[in-house]
């Protein structure tokens, strides 16, 4: 486990370490135990629970694994174990081509809406499980957190070889995480090199080298997919870094622009910086994004949707709080340029209404990050 000092970047905004920790606890309480209009964690029985995507009224591996990461960061073992047991009970494939993966979407009663997996869920499950084992120790059965993480990581890179049927979630040649295991393109926001370096410390011996290489490959992929002038990246990308285009009837519409999924990439770059140090490219990348959006603050056009080259689309963002949080996270690398975004982030707070799930997940992660409370355990 890495030992390091974490910076509270919010001190520049008058928020002490104690105040920041208290605010993290308040956000967690709102998301997990607030009123029916606020929370999206739902307890089930004595020992399970799920995170509801309040815009789509389902439970997704994205949200389940996000909730586990939030819980381990906040030292909340009960909520963590509830989410993990619900995931293993309803989402986990015990056999077949999807064996070892999790069905990406289930109804609140646990009925599967789909059988396939979304790799970002598996990525966060693995990282949260590793942290849980380090923070709380490993138990038995599904609560042997490190054993569960190692097995999941093995399936993610080894399916399709040996006796493991199905497709791996990482491309075996270029080491890129895929959008889905069965297709040969990626999602830039799925690239988590700061996770992969830690995977390499805990994975089976035969899997360690792969994740070391995956970390290197993902940092290079960021350079390919982020536009050199605007800094914007698409939701889905081809392996050469260009935006991936798909028929509009597929995956709910187009994904070649800077839109919902894409906001996570800047956050990932910022967290990689917090955990592993600043690079000149990351600093330039943050500057590009902020130089693109800062002139749009005055007239509100930051709320418009853009192609990665900066061409404006006649459409508004679906998740404005997430978009603000993404730009605020760039304060780790470009504090002066990001100041207005951090102020908006702090003043605006959490979102309410049906679309609060995704916005508030990203809001909480960025608050943890900026306050020095998103840590390696």
Q: What is the CA radius of gyration of the chain?
A: 19
Residue 361 CB coordination number (10 Å): 24
pLDDT value for 376: 98
Which DSSP helix (H) or strand (E) runs through 360? helix 356-370
Contact indicator for 108, 52 with CB cutoff of 8 Å:
yes
Confidence of residue 277 (pLDDT cuts 50, 70, 90): very high
- Cα separations in angstroms, 234 against 169, 259, 288, 346: 20, 7, 15, 27
Mean of pLDDT values over 60-87: 98
In this predicted structure, the answer to whether residue 1 has a pLDDT above a threshold of 70 is: no
Quick: pLDDT tens for 134-186: 999 999 999 999 999 999 999 999 999 988 999 999 999 999 999 999 999 99
CA distance 233 to 236: 8
pLDDT digits (tens, 9 = 90+) for 307-342: 999 999 999 999 999 999 999 999 999 999 999 999
140, 145, 149, 155 alpha-carbon torsion, rounded to 10°:
20
In the structure, what pLDDT confidence band is assigned to residue 249 with cuts at 50, 70 and 90?
Answer: low
pLDDT digits (tens, 9 = 90+) for 173-201: 999 999 999 999 999 999 999 999 999 99
Residue 151 — φ and ψ, nearest 5°?
-65, -45
Categorize the per-residue pLDDT at 285 as very low, low, confident or very high, splitting at 50, 70 and 90: very high
Average pLDDT over residues 60-69: 98
Contact yes or no for 312/304 (Cβ under 8 A): yes
The helix/strand count (H/E) of the chain reads as 12, 6
CA distances 122 to 99, 137, 364, Å, are 13, 21, 20
Strands 304-306 and 105-106: unpaired
pLDDT digits (tens, 9 = 90+) for 88-143: 999 999 999 999 999 999 999 999 999 999 999 999 999 999 999 999 999 999 99
- The mean pLDDT value for 218-247 works out to 96
Q: Which of 57, 93, 86, 56 is nearest to 71 (CA)?
A: 86
- Residues noted as catalytic: 62, 261
Mean pLDDT of the chain: 97
Specify the pairing of strand 312-316 against strand 41-44: unpaired
- Model pTM? 0.97
DSSP 290-355: HHHHGGGTTTTGGGEEE-TTS-EEEEE-S-HHHHHHHHHHGGGT-TTTTHHHHHHHHHH----STT
């Amino acid at each position: 486990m890495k030992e390091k000092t974490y910076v509270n970047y919010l001190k520049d905004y008058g928020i002490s370490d104690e105040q920041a920790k208290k605010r993290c606890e308040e956000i967690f309480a709102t998301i997990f135990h607030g009123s029916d209009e606020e929370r999206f964690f739902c307890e089930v029985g004595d020992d399970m629970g799920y995170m509801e995507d309040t815009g789509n009224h389902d439970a997704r591996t994205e949200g389940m694994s996000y909730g586990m990461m939030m819980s381990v960061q906040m030292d909340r073992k009960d909520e963590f174990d509830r989410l993990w047991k619900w995931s293993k009970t309803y989402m986990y494939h015990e056999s077949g081509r999807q064996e070892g993966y999790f069905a990406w979407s289930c109804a609140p009663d646990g009925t599967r809406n789909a059988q396939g997996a979304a790799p970002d869920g598996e990525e966060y499950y693995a990282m949260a499980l590793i942290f849980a084992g380090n923070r709380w120790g490993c138990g038995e059965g599904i609560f042997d957190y490190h054993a569960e993480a190692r097995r999941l990581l093995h399936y993610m890179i080894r399916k399709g070889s040996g006796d493991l049927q199905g497709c791996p979630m990482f491309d075996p040649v270029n080491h890129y995480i895929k959008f889905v295991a069965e297709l040969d393109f990626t999602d830039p926001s799925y690239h988590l090199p700061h996770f992969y370096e830690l995977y390499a410390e805990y994975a089976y011996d035969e899997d360690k080298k792969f994740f070391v290489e995956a970390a290197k490959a993902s940092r290079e992929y960021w350079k390919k997919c982020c536009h050199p002038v605007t800094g914007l990246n698409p939701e889905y990308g081809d392996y050469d870094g260009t935006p991936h285009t798909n028929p509009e009837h597929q995956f709910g519409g187009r994904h070649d622009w800077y839109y919902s999924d894409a906001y996570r990439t800047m956050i990932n770059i910022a967290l990689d910086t917090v955990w592993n140090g600043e690079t000149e490219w990351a600093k330039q990348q943050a500057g590009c994004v902020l130089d693109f959006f800062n002139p749009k603050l005055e007239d509100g056009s930051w709320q418009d949707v853009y192609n990665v080259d900066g061409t404006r689309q006649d459409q508004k963002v679906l998740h404005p709080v997430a978009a603000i949080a993404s730009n605020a996270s760039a304060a780790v690398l470009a504090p002066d340029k990001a100041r207005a975004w951090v102020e908006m982030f702090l003043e605006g707070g959490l979102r309410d209404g049906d679309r609060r799930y995704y916005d508030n997940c990203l809001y909480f992660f960025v608050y943890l990050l900026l306050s020095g409370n998103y840590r390696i355990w």
